Structure 1
Amino acid sequence: MRCSLAALLRATVVLGLVVFSCHTAEGEEVSVKKNEASIDVLVGDKLFTTYHFKSGAKPVLWPIHGPHELEMTRAYPLREGDKGEATDHIHQRSFWFTHGDVDGVSFWHETEGHGNIVQKELVKAEGGDVATIVTKNDWQNATGEKLLEDQRTLRFGVDPSGRYIDFDIVLTASEKDVKFGDTKEGMFGIRVAESMRADIKDAAKKGRIFNSEGQINDAAWGKPAAWVDYSGLVKDQQVGIAILNHPTSFRHPTHWHVRTYGLFAANPFGLHDFKAVTEGDGSHVLKKGESIAFRYRVLFHEGDEKKGDIVSAWNRYVK
């Protein structure tokens, strides 16, 4: 952390909550504020996002503010009643990481018998040139039996293209062998703002999916790609969300469960569902004591993938 002593001394106690902050290289301040069941992340004096220790069956980030302080992900079901907002797929909660088949247990859905990801420890929450949150979590079945554990590291900063969130997660088979099944219902997901959807009938308002291979909208579904960008309108401003899959991430380049109705997910396991294999499937057995790691950068930017210069953003990320 490259903070000056003066910046460190600006850590203050406000209403019993500790706020840690210092300045980014771009001249904006990144800080975190600990609440009872969540952590706020601020850029300057503006809320970037809030990390909720649990919503439904898992930890999530919501709201997420991008360019012009616009909310970039769907509010439902964390906030209900927004005009014109779809209420399908209650489990698609803004920004999350789960999987639909872990030893036969779905952590993706919120239906009978679903699994739960339970935070066991908040390891770190601090401001810096890049603010950082680290947590440890248990993956439990419906009866509370622990199947595996994760440690996730989230970093929040400002890139020349916009605000970003780095999401690194290590899954460990701490209890026994664990099988991740081949299903399209996974894994690292975002539900984009309703007005950004690529299936809007009005061509002038329709959003667009574009990946690193030049595939657009439905053609990008199930395909491997280093990155995918989902752009559209939010309050008449054209903005975009890009997810970059780091080369060191498990099964890079990942396949993408990205839909024109607004689901935006990276999934390395759904190979049979994606018709990416003709024999066998994409399942993976993690032996007891073994770990696998997934790494993503999520960039919230102006315009489409060209205006956001996602190619340059990708090059910065992999370096």
Structure 2
Amino acid sequence: MKHLRTAFLLLTISPLSAQIVLTETNDRLRVEIDGELFTEYRSDRKVPCLYPIISPTGAGLTRNFPFDDSIPGEEHDHPHHVSVWFTHGLVNGVDFWAQHLKRKGEIVHKSFGPRSTQSSSANGLPSHTATFSVNLSWEEGDTVHLTETRTYTITARGDTRLIDVESVLTGVDGDVVFGDTKEGTAAIRVAPTMRLKGKVGKGSILNSNGERDGDAWGKRAAWVAYSGPDPEGKAAVIAMFDHPSNLRHPTWWHARDYGLLAANPFGRHDFEKKKDKHLGDHILKQGDTLTFNYRMLFHQGDLKSAKLAEEWQSYSGQ
């Protein structure tokens, strides 16, 4: 009987173990869930990013371009929109976002930090989590404006995948000015089927205030969500949550009908159409740190099953 009980315990525990696997290759880190690719940390662009983002059913939830330009129905605009990324368009006058200004910057991957995986169960539903960190340098030529420790925590729970991003920024070369521009900051470029416009776009936007589609652009909100069909035609939701501890929470949202979803705490004059172009500036003193936390939700299902209000309460502690 003792051996039977032990065997039963192993059977019940084993589905909760080793469900997320992290594999490092050079400057990349592959994240697999149940043996299938979920995402990969990539540092082969001007800014590090996560690409692709794969749903539990195997559909890609973010745009493939500029990594792959052969996908039918995808627009090739904004090549700096690289799936899931974090940067800003005006840091000490340097463009780390679109590379359009005279002064162009690059976020350089320096090293990987600690990583871990664990499994648990909540309300009878298995939950698997993996965490890894990277050390980055925001550079313009030989000048280092910022150093950053960025931590990704990935959770797999039923039909939902969560990516928590914590960015700890430290000023290096004197004070650092984050300039007022709409070009930033924590961003996702969704799959073309979830866009609001275009030949295959059938999506919609909703924010925590109840504002929809074009009315959500430039508004302050706790979260914003895209919903619509994934490339396989199945219902999907992509949302981002702005943590209450973040600078100027609730943040402004650069949420576009062509598939961009970005939280931006610095673009006040653009979003509110103010004359003062420095209204949203923020100065980080040399040696001080500035921390941002965001949660990105990828759900296979509709807005009702995504339970965004409950997810927000869980994330925010409110």
Alignment of 1:150-165 (within 5 A): 150-159=148-157, 162-165=160-163
Alignment match, 2:252 = 255
* Ranges of 4+ aligned residues in structure 1 off by more than 4 Å: 22-25, 276-280
Alignment match, 1:55 = 44
Q: What are the superposed Cα offsets for residues 82-131 of structure 1, whole Å, 9 maximum, x if unpaired?
A: 11211110100101001000011000013464200011221123332321
Change over 3 Å in CA distance of 1:230–1:28 after alignment to 2: farther
Q: What are the superposed Cα offsets for residues 244-288 of structure 1, whole Å, 9 maximum, x if unpaired?
A: 111112221111001000011000000000016565611101111
The amino acid across from 2:49 in the alignment is V
Contact kept in structure 2, 1:32 and 1:42, CA below 8 Å? yes
Alignment match, 1:283 = 281
Name the TM-score, length of structure 1 as normaliser. Answer: 0.87
CA apart distance, 1:64: 0.6
CA apart distance, 1:165: 0.5
Aligned length: 293
Contact kept in structure 1, 2:86 and 2:185, CA below 8 Å? yes
The amino acid across from 2:304 in the alignment is K
2:303 corresponds to which of 294, 297, 305: 305
The amino acid across from 2:79 in the alignment is I
Change over 3 Å in CA distance of 1:66–1:28 after alignment to 2: farther
Do structure 1's residue 224 and structure 2's residue 215 form an aligned pair?
no
Structure with the greater alpha carbon radius of gyration: 2
1:83 corresponds to which of 64, 72, 75: 72
Q: Which runs of 5+ in 1 are unaligned?
A: 1-21
Q: What are the superposed Cα offsets for residues 56-77 of structure 1, whole Å, 9 maximum, x if unpaired?
A: 2011100111231211000001
Alignment of 1:60-71 (within 5 A): 60-71=49-60
Name the TM-score, length of structure 2 as normaliser. Answer: 0.87
Q: Which runs of 5+ in 2 are unaligned?
A: 1-12, 120-128
Aligned residues with identical type, % of pairs:
40
The amino acid across from 1:314 in the alignment is W
Q: What are the superposed Cα offsets for residues 207-238 of structure 1, whole Å, 9 maximum, x if unpaired?
A: 00100000101100011111111111121111
Alignment of 1:178-189 (within 5 A): 178-189=176-187
2:106 corresponds to which of 101, 105, 116: 116
Backbone CA RMSD of aligned residues: 2.0
